[in-house]
Amino acid sequence: MLVFKVISYVLHPLLFAFMGSFIYLYLTPKHVVKEQEYIILFVVFVSTYIIPILLLALLKKVKLINDYHLRSINERKFPVLFFIMLSFLIGRALIAIHIVDLLAFSFFGVAFALSFTYLLFNLKIKTSLHTLGIGGIIGFVMVMSYEYQLNFNAFLAGLFVVAGLIGISRLALNAHRPKEVYIGFVLGIVSQWMSFQIYQNI
């Protein structure tokens, strides 16, 4: 059980945006100078990790959530709405600098996936944000592989193994039902490809 908790903490959903940004800047052909890379990673880390943690601390202090695990659907509603808006704003900000458009659209993909997650709350489905996050990274790496004609097969195989470990951990901890784990994973992948289709047609 301890192993499953460690996996869930180390591979927390709040870290996936930063991980995806780092992977993009590290794996794709170099078109961004180092100083710009550091600025982008810093902004993404503060926006998608530090600020959400401060938000959760505030929500806990005012007793809008019981703990940081967001176990109930009601506890998840405001944080998910907040992250939808945040992902969209980060995407817009990255589009404005005109050097990492593909990365910008990955954030639009995240916003779409979370929007669908929010709609599923009405059906009492608590989509796994852990598997949505790793699914999003897998989808984005597939997009990068296609866009830049690079072979990331070995890396993708490793990511699928990680996704399996995350899924097993969420089920073992009774954090989700199986369908919520699968829905999150599929949503993460599909949203990145949908966003990429929009990117190709603008």
Q: Which of 23-32, 43-52, 145-154, 171-180 has the lowest mean pLDDT?
A: 23-32
Model confidence, pTM? 0.94
Number of domains in the chain: 1
Neighbours of 23 (CB within 10 A): 18
- The pLDDT tens digits of the residues spanning 75-100 come to 999 999 999 999 999 999 999 988 89
Q: Flag whether pLDDT at 202 surpasses 80.
A: no
Q: Chain centroid to CA 131: how far?
A: 9
Distance (Å, rounded) from C-alpha 109 to C-alpha 91? 9
Tell me, what's the pLDDT at 29?
86
Average pLDDT over residues 32-42: 92
Quick one: pLDDT at residue 200?
83
Mean pLDDT of the chain: 94
CA atoms of 61 and 72, how far apart (whole Å): 17
Given this model, what pLDDT does residue 64 score?
85
Structural domain range at position 85: 2-200
Q: Of 125 and 34, which is predicted with more confidence?
A: 125
